[in-house]
Amino acid sequence: MEERLHPSTAQHLIAPIALLFALAALPPQDLVEDLCVDCHRGTGAEAGFDLQALLGRETLASGLFDWRRARAMVESGAMPPPSGPEDPGGLDDGERAEILGFLDGIESQALELGGHPGHEGARRLTRAELGNALQEILGSKVAIEDLMPEELVANNGFEASPDTLLVHPTWLARAAAAVRLTLDAALPNEGPTSIDPLDPDLGALIRSAFRRPVTDDELARYRGALTDRRMAGASPRESLRATLVQILASPHFLLRLEDSTAATDGEARPVSAHGLASRLSFLVWVGPPDAELLDLADSGRLLDPAVLDAQLARLLADPRALRFGRSFAGQWLGTRSLGTRVKPDPIDVAFMTDSVMADMRDEVARFLLELFRADLPLDELLLGEFSYVTRELAEFYGLEDPATFPAGAPTRVAAMPAQRRGLLTKAGVLATTAYPDRTSPVLRGAWILDDLLGTPPPPPPPDAGELDEELFEEAEEPGLRGALAAHRRQPSCASCHARIDPLGFALEGYDQFGRARTHDWDGEPVDARGELPDGTSFAGPDGLAAALLRNRRSDLAREIARRFLRYSLGRPLAWQDERAVVELSQALRDGGFGALLRATVASRPFRWIEPR
C-alpha cells in the first residue's frame, strides 16, 4: 500500500492515526460475494447498486460512502432480502459479524490511506458572500436578496459547492446590476459618500476586492482607466463608479481566485497566507478578509500559529461572526427554511409572525455561535441552559414577564426553563421538522438520525405503503403513535421505522410550531417515551438528549465534525477527508466547539490544496 500514499502525505503528521491503522489488513470479502453480488452486479444491479464494481476497485476505501449505504441496509436488516417464503432474510450472527468486520476494515483503510488535500477550485461567491463583500468594500448595503437568485442546494443542504456555483450569463448580468446598485448607494450625488470620489484610495479598494496584494500593473491599469474617464470629461463620481464596476465585475472579485495562481496540477502545496486569510473570513464572516487580516497575510505572520489563533478569536468575537451562526445553523440544521418553505398560514396561525420565525432562526444561530465562542463542550449542544430570546419569542415560549424583554434585539437568558434547554427543544428546530398542521415523529426522528448522527435511514422501499386511513382505523392505540405502530408491523417498514419513530416520539411534547403541549392533535395525552435501537429507553427531550450523549456520542461528534468541515471547506467531503473528520471529532470530544474550530483551521484539508 505504501506506494499509493502521495509523497506529500508523509510530510504531514497524522502519525497517530496512521500508525493505528497501518497494519489493519482487510478481512475477507467472500461473504459479500456470496450473499450480495448475485443481485448487485453490473449495469442491471438491483437499486443501481453495483457491488461487484465496488469490490473490483483497487482501493476499496474509495467507495467508502457506498459501503456505508450497504452498512445501513445490513444493520437495519433490510438486506439481504428473504430468498424464499421460508427465509426471514437478514443475516445470522456469524455472517453479520463477518460482514460488519469487512465494512469496518474499509473504514480503517479510508483512515489509513486518506488525508490527501482536496481542491475545490475557484468557485464563485454565493449570494450571501457577494452581499457581505460589497458591503465590506463599499461601506454601503443593498438588499441582495432582491437582486440575486437564491442558491440551489445539494450535498446535505449546503449551498457553497464548487459543483453548483456556476457563472452563467444571467448570474453575471445580475451580479453586475447588484454591483451598480451598491455603488449608487455608496456614491450618492448628494449627501455623504462612503468613498471620496475626489480622492479615492484605489489601491486599498482593489486589495480588499481581490483579497490579495495588488500588482503594480493592476494598479496602473485601474488608475489609468480612472484618469482616462476624467480626461474624457466624466465627473469624478462617474469616473470612479465606472472604474469600480470594472473592479467588482472582475473574476478576481467574483471568483475565489486569491490562491489560484502558480498552480502545478497534481502537486499538493500549503494554502497561501492570502488563501488562508480568505478561508478564515469566509468561514467566520461569510465574507472577505478585512485590512488587518490582509496585512498579516502580506507579512506572512498569519501562518504563525499563535497569530492565527489570535485572529480566529478576533473574528469570532466580532459581531460579523453572527453570519457564521446563521449560515451554518441554517444549512446544517435546515432552520433557514423556517418562514419560507415552512410557513404557516398567517391568518389561521396568527402568532407565527415573520418576526417570531426570524427570532426562532436567530435563537438557534446565536445558541450555536456561543458554543463556538465560549468553547463549550459537546454536551452543551443538547443540554445548554442558556439561550437568546426576544420579547416576542419570550411570549411564544410563555416565559415569565415577557414584557421585561427588550423589544427587537434578543436578550441572553442564562437559564431557560427545563423544557427549553438544548438544541432539541428550540422552536426553530421543532417547527422546521413538522408538517404545517401536525407533528411528524418520522420527520423529527429522521432529522436526528441524519443531521445529528450521520446515519440517515435508507429511503423507503418502493412497496413501502403509506400511512393511510386504514392504518389509523386498524391501529390498536389511538392517534399517530398507533398508526405508526401498525405501519411498523409491516415487515418492510419495521426495520427502519423502529429506528426512526421512537426518537421523534420523545419530542411529541411540542406541537408543530414548537409550543409545549400536554395533549396531541387527537386530544390524547402526550406520550413522549421512546427508545434507541439498542433498547435504551428514555422519555422526553432531556431523556433523549442524555441517551444520545451516552449511547451515540461518537456518531454525534463525528457528524458535527463532518458537517462543520464540509461547511468550512465549501465543498462536499471525499473519502480521503474521513481521516480529518476523526481527528476533528476527537478535538470536539476532548475539548469543545472552540477546539473543533481550531482543529479544523489547522487540519490538512483546510491548510493544503492539491490543484487539479
Partner 1 sequence: MKPLPNPSRRRFLRGASATLALPYLEALAPRDAAIPTRAIWLYFPNGVAEGSWKPRWNARTGGLTALHPTMDPLARHRQHLVVPRGLYTPRGNGHGAGTATWLTGGEWEHRELDAGGASVDQIAGEALGGDCIVPALTLSARGEGHFSTDLPRNTLSWNRSGRPVFRETDPRAVFQLLFGSEASADSSLLDSLREQVAQLEGRVSATDRARLQEYLQAIRGLERRVAFAQKEETVRRLSRATELGFDFDPRVPPAAIPSDHGDYLDLMLDLVALALWPGASRVASMMLDHGQSNRYATFVPGVQGTWHAVSHWRDTSGKTEDDDGVTSWKDRRTKRAMYDAIVTWHHARVARFLDRLAALPEGGGTLLDHSVVVYGSSISDGHEHGESNLPLLVAGGGGGAIRGGRVLDQGDEISMSRLHLATLQVLGLPAGRFAEADSPLDLA
* Interface contacts to partner 1, rule CB under 8 A: 48, 65, 119, 121-124, 149-155, 159, 161-164, 166-174, 176-177, 180, 221, 225, 242, 245-246, 249-252, 254-255, 257, 260-263, 265, 340-341, 435-438, 440, 442-443, 462, 466-469, 472, 483, 512, 521, 572, 611-612
Give the nearest distance from C-beta 119 to partner 1 in angstroms. Answer: 6
Q: Which is nearer to partner 1, 59 or 164 (CB)?
A: 164
Q: Which is nearer to partner 1, 304 or 351 (CB)?
A: 351
Give the nearest distance from C-beta 158 to partner 1 in angstroms. Answer: 11
Give the nearest distance from C-beta 535 to partner 1 in angstroms. Answer: 26
Q: Which is nearer to partner 1, 192 or 612 (CB)?
A: 612
Q: Which is nearer to partner 1, 247 or 528 (CB)?
A: 247
| DSSP SS3 for 269 | strand
Q: Cα angle vertex 395, ends 391, 398, to 5°?
A: 135
Residue that has been written with the C-alpha cell 481527528 in this structure:
583
Cα 209 from Cα 203, distance rounded (Å): 10
For 119, the grid coordinates are 481542491
Give the nearest distance from C-beta 390 to partner 1 in angstroms. Answer: 27
Q: 413 forms bridges with which residues in the sheet?
A: 387
Q: Which is nearer to partner 1, 254 or 277 (CB)?
A: 254
Contact 381, 560 (CB under 8 A): yes
Give the nearest distance from C-beta 170 to partner 1 in angstroms. Answer: 5
Q: Which is nearer to partner 1, 59 or 260 (CB)?
A: 260
Give the nearest distance from C-beta 386 to partner 1 in angstroms. Answer: 32
- Cα distances (Å, whole numbers) of residue 358 to 132, 324, 389: 19, 16, 11
Q: Which is nearer to partner 1, 157 or 591 (CB)?
A: 157
Give the nearest distance from C-beta 56 to partner 1 in angstroms. Answer: 18
Quick count: other Cβ atoms within 10 Å of Cβ 577? 26
* DSSP for 524-565, written as a single string: PBP--EEE-TTS-EEEHHHHHHHHHHHHSHHHHHHHHHHHHH
Amino acid identity, position 204: A
Burial of 171-192, coded b for 16+ CB within 10 Å and e otherwise, reads beebbeebbbbbbebbbeeeee
Q: Which is nearer to partner 1, 150 or 309 (CB)?
A: 150
Give the nearest distance from C-beta 164 to partner 1 in angstroms. Answer: 6
Q: What is the DSSP letter of 82?
A: P
Residue that has been written with the C-alpha cell 406520550 in this structure:
527
Contact 243, 229 (CB under 8 A): yes
